[in-house]
Structure 1
């Protein structure tokens, strides 16, 4: 538009291109017309497909060139500016969306709070990194897609929360009833001492957003603040009572040495003096009043000299003045001069202090006796006891403590640090679990000692076990108790071994020695979920001994039992991997569970089983099928689908087994989901 470019028929194409480039309309030609012309002519001579050309004014053209059979070229130009602009806007929108999503993910993961988002079916669709750290027993790849109830059940299997132990189903029912109906945030306490502030809200679309914030520090600070407030209130009350009961008097003299202020305690201290009348009098006049009435025994016979000495030191003493009164009381006087040349005098009746000193000496003696009693009690404890101060240095330990750790005993002297004592034992093999990784074990032990929250079981030489309990004292020290639990640990180990044996027996068929139906069902449920998560096939082969009733009727049940054992051994030998299961399904039926095995591999296993049975040649004279024991087998292999039950696979194998029996026995059939 706006360009007049008259062309005549017969004008060569390269001349047309040069004239067009000269108008400045072709953006690619701005860097050099000759180079652009050469490139454009090359594409013109050998057109390969549509080309996109930018025209001034941010317009775009699609050029389609096609050679004619009789020679010549047809050129079609199409304005695609709107399409380019739309694609550019779409690309920018996609980039903006990606940036927004990335920033949102970064922001969510940067949150100091844990975030869970559940869809309208109450399945977890998003959780941030903080939530993953707080829920180590539930990996993200296993948690996403699970319902809120399933996640709660996973937590219950790990003992979380502690309050639900022993009443898991009741707690779960109550929790699910509250789901989506909580009136506000909740604060929960978890077994590891963590406090969580949980806020749950539904969105208009039916999603549920749950935010969890670790407020352990806040709760701890709140508890500390509450304790400090109570302590401050108690101290303040004590201070108020103490101020009222203080035997301290105060008097103030101005720069002219005149009495300007006193408290009532001063009047009670000197009942013979009317201080109300002395206000405005100079200090020397008040002294003469007391000396003239014989109230100062030390001034007797030298009144003027005493007054002169007292005036010289008035407000200038570097130490306290102790003065004895005529009635036998002792007064401690402290005087100081202010920058304004005022004198502030504080008088304290120390008669009671002398009595208190005597009482203090008696209390110190009682405390010493109590300490001795405490030491005797500590020594009498059947457990080992040790106390470390705020600097982690040993204050006291009893003989039993040293007996439990004889290797470290030489270092157990007051003043030794806990680390020095522990390192001494580590270097000499006292802690069996530390051998070979001494520094790592020591670092872990020191961290647990500083935390002083959980009991620790220690394995010592000569088969001994010690349980260590440590707690922090209010003064910042650590008190520890050690108990010899060797007998208890041994009994627990024996019990664990017995339980393991019992668990093995509960999943083993008593007759054949291979897995029983319970073991098969348990493994099927586990592998069904695992293979479903990883999109791997899972195979079941159901095996039935043909005409086994006739075998029992002819050879007897004892021979039948021996036959079942031989078959079980053959099938067990046909499994190759540790995760493959051979089990007795019931009666004369057996089953093979083969994870990550497709149909072709399953057929190979079935053929191997039948070949092994054929080679064993177990005689069955009354079998209508063959003179030896034979199998009928049903094979089913599938990738578990979400929402499908594991018994789907067993039913499929059973259907294939039925076809094998109906088809004449001594054969196997493979389940086909599309008959």
Structure 2
């Protein structure tokens, strides 16, 4: 009678264990100390696509992997899969960081192994397909953005004019090669984040605008002028003349484009005489 009661208790415990395993929200498998499959849930059954009869026969981990490769279930396994099989078994038999498996259905599974005190191995396979697709989308978006940024850089560097863009806080966002060339003696002015106020004060202090009687007043006026939209002409030392065009961006920043009109001014003055 006691034996029968114990048998019923054991059966109930096994049923309870099966229910718990089945409720796990990812593919789960348990391998014994001889590396034979002794427990699995329906998600593992579905992902392996090997059938309940085969999995219920307690195949070893190696037999499962080889059978999946034979049926073309694992995408990243090469034609000569022996080295890959050995690597995968090694990951399974020792505690390692999680690794990924790509299966034929297009799913990506993250495999994590846990070695138990009794020599058993608990394996979990989480479906991270959606996450990988999102990562791929982000990577593709970043690649497109980088390509667009490179095209923009090539375009503005190919301009004959000087171009510089500032954000709504008057900090430099980008500038072209001519801006860097004109200000080659002040390389720090080409660094993103440099304010237009700092740029003009640095140029005044460095003598870019020539010798000034009231440099602070000049800098203040020039900063205010630079922030105004429209077209203006600037006379520089040595008879050089620039024409600057300032336009506002939709986010409150501004783009300044200026060109050397010294030759044009010379011709105009000659004709006026």
TM-score, normalized by length of structure 1? 0.30
Tell me what 2:243 maps to.
197
SS of the aligned residue for 1:185 comes to strand
Distance 2:205 2:60 in 1: 85
Corresponding residue SS for 1:31 = coil
Match of 2:187 in 1: 140
- Decide which structure has the larger Cα Rg and report it: 1
Matched, 1:53 2:115: no
SS in 2 for 1:211: strand
* Counterpart check, 1:99 vs 2:113: no
Q: CA deviation at 1:60?
A: 0.8
**Aligned residue for 1:72?**
120
Q: Quick check: 2:160–2:178 contact (8 Å CA) kept in 1?
A: yes
Instruction: Show the 5 A alignment for 1:447-486.
Output: none
Shift of 1:222: 5.6
Provide closer, same or farther for how the CA distance between residues 78 and 166 of structure 1 changes in structure 2, counting only shifts above 3 A: closer
**Residue of structure 2 in register with 1:152 after alignment:** 200
Deviations 1:124-153 (A, max 9, x none): 45433312322345x121575554344434
Q: CA deviation at 1:115?
A: 1.8
CA distance in 2, matches of 1:153, 1:17: 70
Please, which of 43, 53, 58 is the counterpart of residue 91 of structure 2? 43
Show CA shifts across 1:238-287 (max 9, x none). xxxxxxxxxxxxxxxxxxxxxxxxxxxxxxxxxxxxxxxxxxxxxxxxxx
Of 208, 227, 230 in structure 2, the residue corresponding to residue 180 of structure 1 is 227
In the alignment, what sits opposite 1:659? none
Tell me how far apart the structure 1 counterparts of residues 88 and 65 of structure 2 sit (CA, whole Å).
Answer: 8
Q: TM-score, normalising length from structure 2? A: 0.66
1:168 Cα deviation from its structure 2 partner = 4.7
CA RMSD between the two structures: 3.3
Aligned position for 1:362: none
Change beyond 3 A, Cα 1:61–1:131: same
Q: Which has the higher contact order (CA 8 A, sep 6+)?
A: 2
Show the 5 A alignment for 1:221-300.
226=271
Secondary structure of 1:94's aligned partner: helix
- 190 and 46 in structure 1: CA distance in 2 versus 1, 3 angstrom threshold: same
User: Displacement, 1:160?
Assistant: 4.7
Residues 63-92 of structure 1 show CA distances to partners (whole Å, capped at 9, x for unaligned) of 222222212322212211111111222222
| Structure 1 position 215 matched with structure 2 position 266 | no
In structure 2, the CA distance between the partners of 1:122 and 1:90, relative to structure 1 (3 Å rule), is closer
Deviations for 1:330-376, whole angstroms, at most 9, x for unmatched residues? xxxxxxxxxxxxxxxxxxxxxxxxxxxxxxxxxxxxxxxxxxxxxxx
Are positions 1:114 and 2:166 aligned together?
Answer: no
Verify the 8 A CA contact 1:185 1:199 in the aligned structure 2.
Answer: yes
State the number of aligned residues.
224
The verdict on how the C-alpha distance between 1:9 and 1:173 changes in structure 2, with shifts beyond 3 A counting, is: closer
Matches within 5 A, 1:232-631: none
Question: Does the 8 Å contact 2:180/2:190 carry over to 1?
Answer: no
Give, in angstroms, the shift of residue 26 of structure 1: 0.8
Long gaps (5+) in structure 2: 1-45
* CA deviation map 1:571-592 (0-9, x unaligned): xxxxxxxxxxxxxxxxxxxxxx
Structure 1: any 5+ residue segments left out of the alignment?
A: 231-675
C-alpha distance 47-146 of structure 1, shift in aligned 2 (>3 A)? closer
Aligned to 1:83: 131
CA gap of 1:179–1:58, structure 2 versus 1, over 3 A, is same
User: Alignment partner of 1:29: what SS?
Assistant: coil
Give how far 1:188 is off.
2.6
In structure 2, distance between residues paired with 1:35 and 1:172? 70
Contact 2:200 2:223 in 1 (8 A): no
Aligned to 1:31: 79
Q: 8 Å contact 1:180–1:201 — kept in the other structure?
A: no
Asked if 1 retains the 8 angstrom alpha-carbon contact of 2:165 and 2:254, the reply is yes
Secondary structure, aligned partner of 2:91: helix
For residues 160 and 45 of structure 1, what CA distance do their matches in structure 2 show? 71
Answer whether contact 2:183 2:189 (CA < 8 A) is retained: no
Contact 1:50 1:65 in 2 (8 A): yes
Q: Residue 49 of structure 1 aligns to a residue in which SS?
A: coil
Q: How far is the alpha carbon of 1:112 from its aligned partner? A: 1.6
